[in-house]
Amino acid sequence: MPRVIDLRSDTVTLPSLSMRKAMMECPLGDDMFGEDPTVNKLQDMVKNMFKKDSAILVPSGTMANELAIKALSEPGDAVIMPAHAHIYSYESGGAPFLSGITPVLAGDSRGVIEVEELETLVPPSDQHFAPVTVVSLENTHNGHVIPLPKIEAVHKFCQERNLKMHLDGARIFNAAAALQVCVSEIAQYFDTISFCLSKGLGTPMGSMVVCSNEKIRKRVHRFRKLFGGAMRQSGIIAAAGIYALENNRSCLAKDHQRAQRLANLLSEIEGVSIRNTPVETNMLFMDFSQTGVPGEVLEQELAQENVKIFTDRRTSVSRLVTHLDIHDEDIDRFVASLKKILVPSKNRMMEKV
């Protein structure tokens, strides 16, 4: 039986044998006392890489975002964020519940928020309005990369109005690879940055909150305990992160190339189109609505070929994500399997007409 090709997300990767060895052999201590040497090494590595004051290891990307919002805001504040932001759409309403903030949605489909729009969203100082205190961006946003000049413009606006900035940088290393810059060039504009060790980098779990000053670090550290995210011998997680940052970042550009190649091959199939063009990183959105094949049927038939995808059955669009465990031959096999399912269906539709 051929091995499983899983294009649902870059979170499905399995740690390599070398990563598992690093996890097994790392020195450990109690991180609640700040005594886990592997955690401390990872946090120092990230701090230096991002050129920030500090970094804190947490269990998940959702927790990293929620901790950052909590640290930067007070209950009753308003936070501006992209309309399709992960913080708003996919964190179970955590920010209003945990931090008591009001989300203010902005930006376009690529996650870009223009200064002109921000000017209309920040209210005057008046008792009737929830004060906007934070602007949150997301890079990458559904595979799109926000250009640095756009971020710089928002940063200048926030500085002039004394607003804090957070970056949901779950895939910030993908953004940096696409922009061909160091992550510090993106991070310089933000008070907090979250990123996932388990997205693209190949670790089994773990995320980081990067902080710009000691006051924010203390708040994040305290709220990590409050949210239930403090850990003990968490060096086994940190060791995977260290290995990933030392060895797997260079693979991201190959993931992007494979995603672009996949997009090109899919575009040759009649009835299939790519929603996010050009494909900038490791993520593409395949629209197969014109083929007449229901999403549930496509998922089931691909599963019989040992291929896993996820489809939005309302729109017949599938998000496909390349990652460490996807190789060139997997791309070819997936496209061949897709043609077996979609092309005959298209022919049947033509015969009915």
Q: Whole-number mean pLDDT of the chain? A: 95
The least confident of 65-69, 244-248, 313-317 is 313-317
Q: Cβ contacts of residue 180 below 8 Å, gap of 6+?
A: none
Cross-strand pairs, 166: 136, 192
Section 282-286 average pLDDT: 97
What does the DSSP 8-state code read for residue 105? E
pTM over 0.85: yes
Question: What pLDDT sits at residue 313?
Answer: 85
Give residue 353's pLDDT band: very low, low, confident or very high (50, 70, 90). very low
The sheet with strand 310-312 has its strands ordered as: 273-274, 283-287, 317-321, 310-312
| Residue 346 pLDDT exceeds 60 | no
C-alpha dist (Å) from residue 121 to 129, 147, 242: 11, 22, 40
**Number of C-beta neighbours around residue 308 at 10 A:** 15
pLDDT tens for 76-113 read 999 999 999 999 999 999 999 999 999 999 999 999 99
| Distance of alpha carbon 189 from alpha carbon 165, whole angstroms | 8
Pairing assessment for the beta strands 78-82 and 5-6 based on DSSP bridges: unpaired
| Residue 254 pLDDT exceeds 50 | yes
The sheet with strand 102-106 has its strands ordered as: 54-58, 207-211, 192-196, 164-168, 132-138, 78-82, 102-106
